[in-house]
Chain A
Amino acid sequence: MEILVCVKRVPDTADAEVALRPDGRGIREEDLAFGINEWDNYAVEEAIRLKEKHGGAVTVATIGPAESEDVLRRCLAMGADDAVMIDEASFRGADPYGIARGLAGLARRKAYDLVLAGALAGDDGYGMTGPVLAGYLGWPHATLVTSIEVEGKKIAVARELEGGLEEILAVELPAVLTIQTGINEPRYVSIMGIRKVRSKDIPVLAPADIGVGAGEVGENANLLRSLGLSTPPAGAEAVMLKGAPAEVAQRILDIVKERGGVA
């Protein structure tokens, strides 16, 4: 099985202060820690497991700044066979449609059976790049996938629905799948492992190499145009309980008791 996995380098913003740039068109990146998008980590693991079971090779790809190389090396250390980067300059500010155009060009360079993407990117959270890419390729797709079984030229996948329900879908190959967290337990990557792939060549492709013409992608070609970023309005905030942990704990217990939650 030839598998292409699309990965994105994203900042960890769950546990960090996020500040706007003065121009209001982006966030300050200086103090943030970056790494592989959580959903993509599961996608890479799943691709490697499919390869281990059914043979073939795994290629990881990203469209991003030079720093994204670290993310690709991490994927190589996990067991991906090849990594490729698309030169970001012409994609700067591209919306998911532009990114998907680039990834589609890349997917056409080889006879892939499967393209995996994350269900969602933790930064912009569109959750659309995978299915849009499938549309450009004209391949069937399934989103929010939580298991994959290969059945010859077909696969059976579980799609996560709401409320602990899944649906089973048979999908013909080649196909695009977006991977949901929890599908597997991604393997641990050691510093040693990363060191081993230090010298592996990671080609950087130009838009022309993937059949994307000048001006076809990037900010000016976007279907979605940013009108700017802002911090959310204060709105209905919680009543903050202040004081030493012991005082706060007492307040919490009082509330629990008052509200009939027992304790």
Chain B
Amino acid sequence: MAKVFVLVEHRRGSIREATFECVTLARELQTAAGLEPAAVVIGSGVAPFAETLAAYLPETIVVDDPSLEHFRFETYAAVLRDLIERETPLLVIAPHSAFGMELVPRLSAELARPCATDCVAVGMDGGALAATRSVYNGKIDERLAFAPAGGYFATVRAGSYAPADPAGTGAIRAHACPAPPAAWRTEHRGYRETAAGAVDITQAPLLLAIGRGIKDAENIPKAQALADRLGAVLACSRPVVDKKWLGKERQVGTSGRTVKPKVYLALGISGAFQHIAGIKGPGVFIAVNRDPKAPVFRAADFGVVEDMFKIIDALAEKLGAK
């Protein structure tokens, strides 16, 4: 039976959540397409990860070698070229993360096996694999088929599938690490934290988050003043940090912080998945955006189609009158 591989993403001693979302997709494809799922764990001292994955999928393949301690394209690709050639999986899936983006597209080009990146769904369409991607800022969906090749790749957008629960006990099998080339051209030199700062948005019960809709640096004090009056902590989307209008420690999203406030009030934020993925927990999400088609309204509990500055002023007025 043809196989579907899930590339296990782990970093600094733990498996990343997105892996279990890919497990859910692999299980779906087992049902829909009869593919046999297997997890692929690559790293150094990763036996415990293999144990974990064995509780999720019928088979886990482990490639364990000191040279694989930190993820790098070069070392992982060497392993995967060898493994894919030997085992010819029909599909290899990985999270569309810093890991998946670095590893999978290039590997797919080298193996001439097409890759659909950032998929929100992968399934069968008339007997062949097909992927759905969200394009043009989440306003359009595109369906993609793969040109016939021996096998395919897909990277999966965070939050597209619910993380899987454990089910059963699978087999664990070791695969030998191929011999290294004479020289590597990249070298891992370590990690660096960038989001440290005085403000901790992860603990605030009320977050007022502003996006590119704030338009100009000179509007920031207005938002800060409203946050102060509300008793909220000011947070933001990435472009506000990129422009250096607020510090990185205030950024919500995949490359910023994950927050779980009781209320998240978003002004002028479009709702890119990298932003939405940073909002967790059972709290209520209110979005204000002047564009009625903004994808943020598909994630929020309450929506307001309005100029955010009118809402800022109206809120300030109400609070001032108290």
Q: Is B164 an interface residue (CB 8 A)?
A: no
Partner of A241, one of B108, B205, B249, B302: B302
Partner of A123, one of B135, B192, B317: B135
Minimum CB–CB distance from A97 to chain B (whole Å) comes to 6
Docked-complex contact A162 and B73, CB < 8 angstroms = no
Docked-complex contact A232 and B138, CB < 8 angstroms = yes
Docked-complex contact A135 and B318, CB < 8 angstroms = no
Q: Is A191 an interface residue (CB 8 A)?
A: no
Docked-complex contact B106 and A135, CB < 8 angstroms = yes
Give CA–CA (A255, B287) in the complex, Å: 13
Give CA–CA (A100, B105) in the complex, Å: 11
Q: Is A214 an interface residue (CB 8 A)?
A: no
Partner of A231, one of B140, B232, B238: B140
Give CA–CA (A36, B302) in the complex, Å: 34
Also in contact, A235 and B298, with CB within 8 A (given A13-B136, A127-B101, A245-B306): yes
Q: Is B32 an interface residue (CB 8 A)?
A: no
**Could you list some 9 contacts between A and B, CB below 8 A?**
A14-B270, A15-B270, A144-B102, A156-B189, A165-B193, A167-B188, A182-B238, A227-B145, A229-B141
Q: Which residues of B contact A74 (CB under 8 A)?
A: none
Q: Which residues of B contact A140 (CB under 8 A)?
A: 73-74, 185-186
Interface code B245-264, partner A: CB below 8 Å = 1, 0 otherwise?
Answer: 00011010011111001110
Question: In chain A between 216 and 233, which residues have their CB closer than 8 angstroms to a CB of chain B?
Answer: 222-232
Docked-complex contact A131 and B102, CB < 8 angstroms = yes
Docked-complex contact A163 and B311, CB < 8 angstroms = no
Q: Is A33 an interface residue (CB 8 A)?
A: no
Also in contact, A252 and B315, with CB within 8 A (given A131-B102, A166-B194): yes
Q: Is A94 an interface residue (CB 8 A)?
A: no
Docked-complex contact B206 and A164, CB < 8 angstroms = no
Interface code A252-263, partner B: CB below 8 Å = 1, 0 otherwise?
Answer: 110110011111
Partner of A125, one of B135, B185, B188: B135
Q: Is B195 an interface residue (CB 8 A)?
A: yes
Also in contact, A260 and B262, with CB within 8 A (given A14-B137, A140-B74, A185-B244): yes
Give the top 4 A-B pairs by smallest Cβ distance, nearest first: A164-B195, A261-B263, A238-B303, A128-B105
Q: Which residues of A contact B257 (CB under 8 A)?
A: 163-164
Interface residues of A (CB under 8 A from B): 11, 13-18, 20, 27, 96-97, 100, 119, 122-128, 131-132, 134-136, 140-144, 146, 156, 158-172, 181-182, 185, 222-232, 235-241, 245-246, 248-253, 255-256, 259-263
Q: Is B96 an interface residue (CB 8 A)?
A: yes
Docked-complex contact A27 and B136, CB < 8 angstroms = yes
Q: Is B190 an interface residue (CB 8 A)?
A: yes
Give CA–CA (A261, B302) in the complex, Å: 15
Give CA–CA (A231, B101) in the complex, Å: 26
Docked-complex contact A225 and B118, CB < 8 angstroms = no
Q: Which residues of A contact B222 (CB under 8 A)?
A: none
Q: Which residues of A contact B305 (CB under 8 A)?
A: 240
Partner of B130, one of A16, A162, A227: A227
Docked-complex contact B144 and A158, CB < 8 angstroms = no
Docked-complex contact B141 and A223, CB < 8 angstroms = no
Interface code B210-251, partner A: CB below 8 Å = 1, 0 otherwise?
Answer: 001000000000000000001110000011011110001101
Question: In chain B between 83 and 114, which residues have their CB closer than 8 angstroms to a CB of chain A?
Answer: 96-99, 101-102, 105-110, 112, 114
Also in contact, A232 and B140, with CB within 8 A (given A143-B98, A143-B102, A238-B301): yes
Q: Is B11 an interface residue (CB 8 A)?
A: yes
Add 12 more A-B contacts to A168-B192, A238-B300, A241-B304 (CB < 8 A).
A131-B105, A140-B185, A160-B98, A164-B196, A165-B191, A182-B242, A223-B147, A224-B146, A229-B142, A240-B303, A249-B311, A263-B206
